[in-house]
Structure 1
């Protein structure tokens, strides 16, 4: 079943658009009825999305060849923790009796800075891996210090003053965060070739909506005001898109994200193998690799031409049973078994015959070597050989000619002058 095609079908997209429109309309009406309930709904959806992103990233980390998704998961876990604290500290919640609009706004800015710089750094881990424990410790330290700076140390700059509204620090921070997110978009697009196009589109859209939300959050004077509501709606859509990009894409079409780099690595290996085969094929001598059972693992074009078979018909066959003459088969096979067992060392130069498809015996001069694994055990043999059949025939004919001439010279009764 093509789940990816089903997920991205026009009918599914249309259903998603309708669902999103209905959800946003419901949230807007909820904000008019009870803003505090609206705020909790949007924020806890964001917290749920952030924690879910982390859970998926954590449990798929052993399959992914890069740490991009894992980095985002860890980052969003701490963004979700700070966002959850912001929600509980919001004006009117009463969870933290000493907190007010300023503390909640400070927590918001802390979460936004964490998210923005994390999105900016995340593409670095598309092409490299990271040490997980130090990264978690770093996020825990930054988040912990931020919470202490707000509630215990009192050194975090004020962000909202009752009766006055937003402070210059808060407004400037929103612009800085927007600039960082713009840089994050550029950084992601630079590495887009290594991610599924659908994922890149969703993440870019999410960051663009977050920038729009940050701009909305520079305008409000009341934490229950319209611009605050618009910013939270944009944030809800942004988190939904990140959720789609990282979580649903990983579950519905996992091969497009989780195993994308694995497929590319396999393709690179196949290209390198094909290139190596081309190098072997242009070599002027036979090249043969046998596994420990004596089966042909690889043979080049020269070897296949001499044996009279296509290379694909040779690979996998028993070298000794199919390509060594019966008169030599037992002796050659015995030496090979001793070589694989480590009982004898490879003979650098040896001659023996091979049997062609037409039944002809060709004499090959072999140079042999063994391939070992990290433990030193033999895993294969590599042999390069030269067909010396014609040369041996020529040498034999020359010797026979010399013998006849010598016999004629020695048995002649007449004097021979030179």
Structure 2
């Protein structure tokens, strides 16, 4: 039987009326009461004895069931009621044999019989009142029997030995005030017991609860009726006994029949209740789990979306510093997926060909298991292109304080560094341009008389060969110095010139023809020019000069031979990428001159555009070639980058804005083609 939810009395009565066993028992009870009614009219003593013996038999049967199921019965209420029945049965039996006319014990007076009745009903009311309060507390059977025996013993001593119990019935007068007051008290106790039992109804099997509740409830009218009779053999006394029969019958149905027909329902009702409560709890738990799972999925989706939107990549390592998890964004920086890098360490990502920067501090923090923030180092990447990353991390520990590894983020700061480097280069070149331009003007002014006067002096030197040699040396040195100053002024770009935009394809072919005579056969030259390239903002002459400088630089970097590649293609720079390089958004042509020569270290690469900086021996170069290239490109509104790795070659990447269709001197980006201060 399931159900721990007894509701209204009407459904309970409906179930009883549909229960054949209950109806058959009720029919038997009615027949019994009819027989007893017949007996009562002929022999009241026999009627009274039968009623009391009926109650005694039921009480002892209930006790027998409770005693033999005391170890398995899960209901403290039913166990306590059952174990308390022997005392009630004994007092009812003594009341029956002490009834007037029986002449079995004592004086067989109405007073003693009534006192025993009061004792029995008082004990019964106390048991019913205490039982609902003990539904959650199990008492030991021995304790219940001991307390019961003490109460019965004290009652019998007060009636038969010490005679201190107040009179209950006085012949010729009737019931005493004590007896009437006690009956009212028992009736009130029965009502209170029913209220307490109702509050505990969910702890009972519905059938057992309904029958037990009705059996206890009948105690109230029963006791009220026993305040109305004046003759122990009168009809009111008989009516009270009929109600007693019905009350005990209901208790009989609640405990005995249920225990015999469905013993497990009675003995393990709490287990069933716990099972159903557990089932309800599991149902609620499943709902809670479903809700929490949905919330976790939503949170996971939210964090995954944030992870995918982030420019950083996230990682975890084990206690030995090996990567155990990496986000997909790592492939954009390293060129390898996260699965390929599992088992790698940060040391495996370091580019050993460049300065380590903050990597020693990173190694020290990992060794000490300390958190670290914003430490940068060069990243080994495919193709040898220069890339830098910035890492932050924090150690992980479990609940026992055991070190598990690190968790952190890595940012690709290559574009940021390139932008900062471009800004630094621009500022440096601007300062140097101003300085060098001013010096070049002053030196040019000083060189003019040297060249002019030495040329004039040669015409007046006569036949003095030695003097002619001196004057020729002075004149030639002045001319060479003026040529150098012209390059310096080209770098400084202090003069303004307007020329038509240059055609890149023509400039490439022209530069290759001019450089062919000085190019050794050990160097292979390749060109990859996109068809239909637009004209750029610098002139064809400037383009040729830029290309010649870069080709000569590549030739000098490949003394043992190699490959020189010139690549040109169209490019569209969006605002974000353009702003990082301090350019304007628009269309560009990307010119790349790459060699497979000796390459440069990071320190050299950062100074490669500085005026008068050269790695060539004294007398082999002025250090102005790449400076002039930088000045031409920047004054044309473009930008130049260099990527290089020792032993693997160098690539110069030039982005030049396309020229407008309107005319010379104006770019599509709103900048002058030439002019002082352009790009500075």
TM range (shorter): 0.5 to 0.7
CA displacement, residues 292-332 of structure 1 (integer Å, 9 cap, x when unaligned): xxxxxxxxxx9xxxxxxxxxxxxxxxxxxxxxxxxxxxxxx
1:344 is matched with: none
Q: Secondary structure at the match of 1:257?
A: helix
CA contact (8 A) 1:90 1:104 kept: yes
Report whether the alignment pairs 1:251 with 2:260.
Answer: yes
Structure-2 change in CA distance of 1:412 and 1:257 (3 Å): farther
Structure-2 change in CA distance of 1:23 and 1:203 (3 Å): same
- TM-score, with structure 2 as normaliser: 0.42
2:242 is matched with: 233
Quote the offset at 1:200 in angstroms. 2.3
Distance in 2, matches of 1:148 and 1:55, equals 27
Distance in 2, matches of 1:254 and 1:393, equals 68
Structure-2 change in CA distance of 1:255 and 1:163 (3 Å): same
Q: Secondary structure at the match of 1:188?
A: helix
Distance in 1, matches of 2:125 and 2:79, equals 16
CA contact (8 A) 2:115 2:168 kept: yes
- RMSD (CA atoms): 3.6
CA contact (8 A) 1:7 1:252 kept: no
2:149 is matched with: 140
Distance in 1, matches of 2:20 and 2:62, equals 26
Report whether the alignment pairs 1:34 with 2:43.
Answer: yes
1:94 is matched with: 103
Judging by fraction of residues, say which structure has more helix.
1
CA displacement, residues 231-260 of structure 1 (integer Å, 9 cap, x when unaligned): 111111111111111211222233443322
Quote the offset at 1:276 in angstroms. 6.5
Distance in 2, matches of 1:6 and 1:189, equals 19
CA displacement, residues 26-65 of structure 1 (integer Å, 9 cap, x when unaligned): 0011011111111111101100100111111122222233
2:553 is matched with: none
Distance in 1, matches of 2:208 and 2:19, equals 18
CA contact (8 A) 2:75 2:269 kept: no
Quote the offset at 1:10 in angstroms. 4.8
Quote the offset at 1:120 in angstroms. 1.1
Distance in 2, matches of 1:130 and 1:85, equals 28
Q: Secondary structure at the match of 2:148?
A: helix
Q: Which has the higher contact order (CA 8 A, sep 6+)?
A: 1
Residue in structure 1 matching 2:276, options 267, 270, 283: 267
Structure-2 change in CA distance of 1:236 and 1:265 (3 Å): same
Quote the offset at 1:179 in angstroms. 0.9
CA contact (8 A) 2:101 2:108 kept: no
1:107 is matched with: 116
Residue in structure 2 matching 1:66, options 75, 83, 86: 75
Report whether the alignment pairs 1:222 with 2:234.
Answer: no
Structure-2 change in CA distance of 1:43 and 1:120 (3 Å): same
**Any gaps of 5 or more consecutive residues in structure 2?**
3-13, 295-299, 301-317, 326-336, 352-379, 386-595, 607-680
CA contact (8 A) 1:61 1:67 kept: no
Distance in 2, matches of 1:237 and 1:402, equals 96
How many residue pairs match? The answer is 319
Distance in 1, matches of 2:239 and 2:214, equals 17
Structure-2 change in CA distance of 1:7 and 1:258 (3 Å): farther
1:155 is matched with: 164
Report whether the alignment pairs 1:414 with 2:414.
Answer: no
Structure-2 change in CA distance of 1:412 and 1:42 (3 Å): farther
Structure-2 change in CA distance of 1:396 and 1:213 (3 Å): closer
CA displacement, residues 386-411 of structure 1 (integer Å, 9 cap, x when unaligned): xxxx96644457866547659969x9
Distance in 1, matches of 2:58 and 2:22, equals 20
1:185 is matched with: 194
CA contact (8 A) 2:70 2:141 kept: no
Structure-2 change in CA distance of 1:279 and 1:24 (3 Å): closer
Distance in 2, matches of 1:150 and 1:78, equals 15
Distance in 2, matches of 1:234 and 1:265, equals 36
Quote the offset at 1:104 in angstroms. 0.8
CA displacement, residues 255-301 of structure 1 (integer Å, 9 cap, x when unaligned): 443322101222344555666778888589xxxxxxxxxxxxxxxxx
Distance in 1, matches of 2:189 and 2:172, equals 30
CA displacement, residues 85-134 of structure 1 (integer Å, 9 cap, x when unaligned): 11121112222143421111100000001101211111112222223333
Quote the offset at 1:14 in angstroms. 3.6
CA contact (8 A) 1:6 1:12 kept: no
Distance in 2, matches of 1:107 and 1:412, equals 124
Residue in structure 1 matching 2:84, options 59, 65, 75: 75
2:572 is matched with: none
CA contact (8 A) 1:120 1:184 kept: yes
Residue in structure 2 matching 1:44, options 34, 37, 53: 53
Distance in 1, matches of 2:110 and 2:179, equals 13
Distance in 2, matches of 1:254 and 1:8, equals 22
Structure-2 change in CA distance of 1:262 and 1:108 (3 Å): same
CA displacement, residues 359-391 of structure 1 (integer Å, 9 cap, x when unaligned): xxxx89xxxxxxxxxxxxxxxxxxxxxxxxx96
1:306 is matched with: none
**Any gaps of 5 or more consecutive residues in structure 1?**
285-301, 303-348, 352-362, 365-389
Q: Secondary structure at the match of 2:267?
A: coil
> Which stretch shifts more, 78-87 or 55-64?
55-64
CA contact (8 A) 2:102 2:108 kept: no
